[in-house]
Amino acid sequence: MSTAEETDIIIVGGGIAGAGAAFEISRSAKVVLLERESHCGYHTTGRSAASFTENYGNGVIRRIVLASRAFLTEPPAGFSDYPLLSKRGMITVARSDQLDLLHQELEAARALVPSIVAMTPAEAIARVPVLRADYLAGAYIEPHSMDIDVNGLHQGYLRGARARGARILTDAGVKAIDRQGGQWRVETPVGTLLAPRLVNAAGAWGDEIAVMAGVRPIGLLPKRRTAFNIPAPAGVDIADWPLVNDVGAEFYFKPDAGQLLVSPADATPSVPMDAYAEDIDVAIGAERLGQATTIEVQRVSRSWAGLRTFVADGSPVVGPDDEVPEFIWLVGQGGYGIKTSPALSRVCASLICGGGLPDDVTRQGVALSDLTPQRLRGAGLQKASAS
């Protein structure tokens, strides 16, 4: 690009959030998406546990997940060559000292997802025979929890956006943002972009993009989460095991391409960065796995970490900035950004077009005030409407 390129909407960030927004917004506007890395999805999007559960996160998150299920179950024709969801199931387990918490969580879970039911420890062990009888005091199962094909979803969004005329530019890290004559002027190593509106889908870097644009940051908190793969126990067929999740968020594990994916479910505050697994977090995960199961970790085949980025109330932030409405936030998806992306992308597109929340999202009980950046300003911080 030798001269500045004009477009309707600039999206900063090519993870699942930016890609989903490009897919939905490009139905009605000219979009250019800018990604700093040489390929989209290098950061948090490429590092997830690929789980679709309707029973994780606060009430707003859970309702947005419910509003996302239809798209993932039945994506538009030609979106993906393979199903985006596949059967997994999720068992939440508790030690005897966690039983009160398990009962509270089960009650809250069933209010939104009635198919979740209690299991006896023996039933849980029948599904996942490595669980220790002397560890397990209670459990419940979410039978319709699924695995998500994250790459299929991400590539489907990008391919669909391109087919609608969007341009996806990689190696295009945003270096400077100015506002002149009713346009954002965005400088990148591959050229200059001009557009009246800008969507900030920069994940952990979302506040940095705001500061560059002269917009007040909203207090994003990136938190590192670690995961690692270990070989499956010898002679055991793990393919049909559900995801096993500790009710106190101390660990989870699930089958992952023939191996086990294990996480200590850590949430260590971090600056925005290319996150990596610390040995201590892998060791903690291995120790907790060894307490709950008969698996002794001998070898870690791969370890990684990603930043899950939150605001104070744990809900995502979607919509025009209250002080600079031409700057649209799409951040704070925490540990739920893959499975919430279908509904959040539609919310973002609808708000950009001057509409309200899509009807199906409202019907799930989500209000604009649950998502707006305004709720985070100063003393006006409100609790999420449901928890």
Ligand X SMILES: Cc1cc2nc3c(=O)[nH]c(=O)nc-3n(C[C@H](O)[C@H](O)[C@H](O)COP(=O)(O)OP(=O)(O)OC[C@H]3O[C@@H](n4cnc5c(N)ncnc54)[C@H](O)[C@@H]3O)c2cc1C
Interaction between residue 339 and ligand X (CB under 6 A): yes
Q: Which two tokens stand for residue 322?
A: 């209250």
Task: State which of residues 306, 314, 319, 320 lies at the interface with ligand X (CB under 6 A).
Answer: 306
State the nearest-atom distance from the C-beta of 176 to ligand X, in Å.
Answer: 10
Question: Which C-beta is closer to ligand X: that of 140 or that of 336?
Answer: 336
Residue 190 in 3-state DSSP? coil
- 36: contact with ligand X by CB under 6 A: yes
User: Cα–Cα distance between 221 and 272 in angstroms, integer?
Assistant: 9
Residues 8-27 close enough to bind ligand X by CB under 6 A = 12-18
- Binding of ligand X by 34 (CB under 6 A): yes
- As a whole number of angstroms, the distance between CA 199 and CA 221 comes to 19
Q: Which of 173, 204, 338, 331 is nearest to 270 (CA)?
A: 204
To ligand X, the closest distance from the beta carbon of 11 in angstroms equals: 9
Question: Is residue 62 part of the contact set for ligand X (CB under 6 A)?
Answer: no
Q: Which residues are CB-contacts of 270 (< 8 A; sequence separation ≥ 6)?
A: 204, 222, 223, 224, 307
For residue 76, report the phi and psi dihedrals to the nearest 5 degrees.
-60, 155
Please report whether residue 308 would count as binding ligand X according to CB under 6 A.
yes
End-to-end, the C-alpha distance of the chain in Å comes to 48
What tokens does 24 get?
A: 């939905």
346 binds ligand X (CB under 6 A): no
In angstroms, what is the minimal distance from the CB of 187 to ligand X? 10
296: burial class by Cβ within 10 Å (0-12, 13-18, 19+)?
A: exposed
- The H or E element spanning position 20 is helix 16-25
Site string for ligand X, 202-231 (x = CB under 6 A): xx-x-------------------x-x----
The one-letter amino acid code at 248 reads: G
Interface with ligand X by CB under 6 A: which range of 2-10, 45-53, 127-135, 363-371?
45-53
Least separation in angstroms between CB 368 and ligand X: 20
Can residue 47 be called a binding residue for ligand X (CB under 6 A)?
yes
CB of 161: closest distance to ligand X in angstroms? Answer: 14
Q: How far apart are CA 203 and CA 211, in angstroms?
A: 14
Q: Looking at beta carbons only, is 49 or 102 nearer to ligand X?
A: 49
Smallest separation (angstroms) from ligand X to the CB of 4? 17
Give the residue with the Cβ less far from ligand X, 95 or 254.
Answer: 254
Span from 116-124, 136-144, 291-299, 337-345 in contact with ligand X (CB under 6 A)? 337-345
- Strand-strand pairing, 221-231 and 302-310: antiparallel
Residue 67 contacts ligand X per CB under 6 A: no
- Whole-number Å distance between alpha carbons of 227 and 257: 14
92 is a site residue for ligand X (CB under 6 A) = no
Residues 135, 95: contact at Cβ < 8 Å?
A: yes
Unique residue bearing structure tokens 């990008």: 158
CB 197 within 8 A of CB 326: yes
- Check binding of 333 to ligand X (CB under 6 A): yes
Note whether 42 binds ligand X by CB under 6 A: yes
Q: Are 198 and 10 in contact (CB under 8 A)?
A: yes
Minimum CB separation of residue 173 from ligand X in Å reads 4
If the CB atoms of residues 7 and 121 are measured against ligand X, the closer one turns out to be 7
Residues between 244 and 263 that touch ligand X (CB under 6 A): 263
Tell which positions 134-193 bind ligand X, by CB under 6 A. Answer: 173-174
Report how far residue 4's alpha carbon sits from residue 311's, in angstroms, rounded to the nearest whole number: 34
Name the DSSP letter for residue 175: -
328 binds ligand X per the rule CB under 6 A: no
Task: Indicate the residue among 20 and 121 with the shorter CB distance to ligand X.
Answer: 20
Residue 338 makes contact with ligand X by CB under 6 A = yes
Nearest to 385 by CA among 368, 111, 53: 368
Tell me how far, at minimum, the Cβ of 315 lies from ligand X, in Å.
13
Of the pair 95, 241, the CB lying nearest ligand X is at: 241
Paired sense of beta strands 252-256 and 191-195, if any: unpaired
To which residue do tokens 């085949």 refer?
A: 301
List interacting residues with ligand X (CB under 6 A). Answer: 12-18, 34-37, 42-45, 47-51, 173-174, 201-203, 205, 225, 227, 263, 306, 308, 333-339
